[in-house]
Amino acid sequence: MLRIFALAFAVLAALPALAAQSFSFASIDGGNLSLDDWKGRPVLVVNTASRCGFTPQYDGLQALYERYRDRGLVVLAVPSDDFRQELGNDAAVKDFCEVNFDLDMPMTTITHVKGPEAHPLYKWLATQGFTPGWNFNKALIGPDGTLVESWGSTTRPLSAPILTRIEALLD
């Protein structure tokens, strides 16, 4: 009986890791972005907005991506209008980010990140204790698919807390 409970516990403990990697998003460039494609790599997921006081953080996100992408880091920008600060459509967001920030990191289409219409990844993150309170909230998903840590809008992408956690997860 004890072995059955131990096995059941092991299976349940593995579920969060499987859940994070099973999600996909529509890409702002067309096609899909699947977290499963990045299995074994850390992924920093950031809900973004083009008309927010934190929008200049795109520069830091791009710099972070450039610094660590060859070592495995993925930075995923998730534009959202849940806080009413995103442009009206995907084409406008894509153009804004290319012109103003020269972004080449993966980016989703405009996506809900909170409430009943939240994307399934964000619903899963909520079960892990993370729900964005504003734009540019950051969730670091480890190579095993678990939520490693999350940060609010005021934590800059190149801050010591984020760099330390990412570097510990890289090859």
List residues with catalytic annotation: 52
In whole angstroms, give the CA distance from residue 134 to residue 4: 43
- Whether the CB-CB separation of 47 and 139 falls below 8 Å is answered with no
Contact between residue 67 and residue 36 where contact means Cβ atoms under 8 Å apart: no
The upper half-sphere exposure of residue 59, i.e. CA atoms within 13 Å in the direction of its Cβ, equals 4
Find out whether 157 and 61 touch, Cβ atoms under 8 Å.
yes
